[in-house]
Amino acid sequence: MDYAPNTDDQRQEMLRAIGVSSFEELINAVPVELHQRSLHAPHGLAEAQVLELCGALAARNQSLTDLTSFLGAGQYHHLIPTVVDAIASRGEWLTPYTPYQAEAGQGTLQAIYEFQTMVCELMQMEVANASLYDGASSTAEAVILSLRATEQPRVLLSEALHPHAREVIATYLIGANAIVQEIPAVNGVTDLEALGKALRDDVACVVMQQPNVFGCLEPMAQAGELAHKVGALFVSSVYPISLGLLQPPGAYGADIAVAEGRCLGTPISYGGPGLGLFTTTSALLRKIPGRLAGCTVDHAGRRGFTLTLQTREQHIRREKATSNICTNEGLIALRATVFMSLLGPEGLKEMATLNLEKAHYAHERLRDVSWLRPAFEQSFFNEFTLQCDDAVDIEVVNRTLAKADIIGGFPLKSWYPSMPHASLWCATEVLSQDAIDRAVDALKKAV
């Protein structure tokens, strides 16, 4: 049968083969109101008319360059030097996807090697792979590695770990002989007393996030020490920009450090794509997912690059594969490499300092709004949780702000039903003091 069925009989045969009677039954999980979406485009338009229509439709979207945004919650708006686009869009990068006949793509392999080197320096870890799909899948792969390396069944996740990461971990562990236990957060940070009580010799790993989902800074070193006392691995999920100021995972003894790396030179882009950073100690080198590019010399002593480790099942690892992830986020990793090379350690420190200063200014100004107050008295980097009065609906407030081209804080009740009046606010280096002041004035008038 052709891959593209062109008769009703062929379509029906394909539907029967997958166990459904109609196309409507196939898509019944999609909300009904989305089934009949139409662009309302008249038939027979000329090319110029189609372009005009598409341009008008596109103009209805708003980007973060048009808005004042306090939205973070895992995806952050940062400045991106123009040269990142200039280098990443060069023709040399259009064909290389990911190296299968590895040595043929020396430029691609060198870019991966440089990326791995910079990520190791950023995290102060010993090994970095060529990247994974996103931060959540990197966190889940860290859990899988821990279960395999320790041969223990229990995984301890902080309640303050991003819910998306916890959901992906749960998906990964469907059918696995593993037990996931959530450690509660108290006053915005992981409860170390509860963690200590939960730690026994059957724990594979402890997973915590820095800064955590509430924006608060966690006691990572103490948590890592508690985990290591019972032989568990300590997994740290971090925010790369924050490492310009905050202690990197290698400095407080993390065994595995992961991150969502899209903030390193790639815009939010309506939700995708991501960049999973994955680093470990040398002791876990042979157990990591994905692939490693290495540097060597040929028989004439010339520098060259090659894939030194490919852990996927389609290669010689077969049933010993550590992961079924068969690729890496080559383009987004390239952008991160260019971005990190441009900033360097001092540039990253300067960007992190701007984030810290803008967020603390916003935090102080937002406290002037009579119906807003801090939810926690904790240190934070560029994101913080605010509590509003019981009579105020933050979603209604946000709709009011949207009319003034302001995106307000993220309501946390969908993730944490016990926090119905809490919202998460973020301020990065892109927000000006004037923009923050205008938003505060708008909030005072919104209620």
Mean pLDDT check: name the lowest of 31-35, 77-81, 175-179: 31-35
Q: What is the edge-to-edge ordering of all strands in the sheet holding 256-260?
A: 127-128, 276-280, 256-260, 233-238, 203-210, 154-158, 179-183
Torsion from C-alpha of 284, 167, 191, 149, nearest 10 degrees = -20
Report the 10 Å Cβ neighbour count for 62.
11
Averaged pLDDT for residues 359-379: 96
Picking from 340, 365, 392, the residue at the C-terminal end of a domain is 340
For the packed helices 163-172 and 135-150, what is the interaxial angle rounded to 10 degrees? Answer: 50
Averaged pLDDT for residues 257-269: 95
Element (H, E) at 118: helix 106-123
Establish if 360 belongs to a structural domain: yes
| Confidence at residue 166, expressed as pLDDT on a 0 to 100 scale | 98
Total structural domains in the chain? 2
Residues 126, 266: one domain? yes
What's the CATH number where 160 sits? 3.40.640.10
pLDDT for residue 284 is more than 70: yes
Q: Are 147 and 155 in contact (CB under 8 A)?
A: yes
Amino acid in the structure at residue 310:
Q
Listed residue (276, 252, 274, 233) closest to 144, CA to CA? 233
Residues 211, 355: one domain? no
**Distance between start and end Cα atoms, the chain:** 62
What's the CATH number where 398 sits? 3.90.1150.10
| Confidence at residue 216, expressed as pLDDT on a 0 to 100 scale | 98
Establish if 17 belongs to a structural domain: no
pLDDT for residue 1 is more than 60: no
Mean pLDDT check: name the lowest of 41-45, 198-202, 420-424, 433-437: 41-45
Element (H, E) at 31: none
| Confidence at residue 255, expressed as pLDDT on a 0 to 100 scale | 98
Domain around 224: 82-340
Report the 10 Å Cβ neighbour count for 39.
8
Report the 10 Å Cβ neighbour count for 102.
18
| Confidence at residue 199, expressed as pLDDT on a 0 to 100 scale | 97
Report the 10 Å Cβ neighbour count for 15.
16
| Confidence at residue 39, expressed as pLDDT on a 0 to 100 scale | 72
Establish if 10 belongs to a structural domain: no
299 CB contacts (<8 Å, ≥6 apart)? none
More confident residue, 232 or 330: 232
Residues 329, 225: one domain? yes
Amino acid in the structure at residue 213:
V
Picking from 302, 319, 340, the residue at the C-terminal end of a domain is 340
Establish if 7 belongs to a structural domain: no
Establish if 92 belongs to a structural domain: yes
Place of tokens 């997958």: 18
Establish if 61 belongs to a structural domain: no
For β-strands 127-128 and 154-158, DSSP reports them as: unpaired
Residues 313, 349: one domain? no
Listed residue (291, 325, 328) closest to 306, CA to CA? 291
Residues 314, 357: one domain? no
Amino acid in the structure at residue 418:
S
As separate numbers, helices (DSSP H) first and strands (DSSP E) second, the chain gives 12, 17
Establish if 33 belongs to a structural domain: no
Q: What is the DSSP string of 59-82?
A: TT---TTTSEE---TT-------H
Amino acid in the structure at residue 302:
R
Q: Assign residue 253 a region: left if phi > 0, alpha if psi is -120 to 50, beta otherwise?
A: left
| Confidence at residue 222, expressed as pLDDT on a 0 to 100 scale | 98
What is the C-alpha separation between 156 and 137, in angstroms, rounded? 17
Establish if 56 belongs to a structural domain: no
Residues 312, 371: one domain? no
Residues 378, 301: one domain? no
More confident residue, 323 or 374: 374
Residues 259, 274: one domain? yes
Q: What is the pLDDT of residues 390-444, one digit of tens each?
A: 999 999 999 999 999 999 999 999 999 999 999 999 999 999 999 999 999 999 9
Place of tokens 């006949």: 101
Residues 120, 172: one domain? yes
Residues 317, 416: one domain? no
pLDDT classification of 100: cutoffs 50, 70, 90: low
Residues 307, 374: one domain? no
pTM score, two decimals?
0.89
Cα–chain-centroid distance for residue 128?
A: 16
Going from the C-alpha of 371 to that of each of 362, 366, 390, the distances in angstroms are: 15, 10, 9
Picking from 315, 340, 365, the residue at the C-terminal end of a domain is 340
- In percent, the amount of the chain with pLDDT more than 70 equals 94
Kindly provide the residue ranges of all beta strands, DSSP E only, lying in 264-361, ordered along the sequence.
Answer: 276-280, 291-297, 303-310
Amino acid in the structure at residue 423:
S
What is the C-alpha separation between 109 and 111, in angstroms, rounded? 5
Residues 132, 254: one domain? yes
| Confidence at residue 24, expressed as pLDDT on a 0 to 100 scale | 84
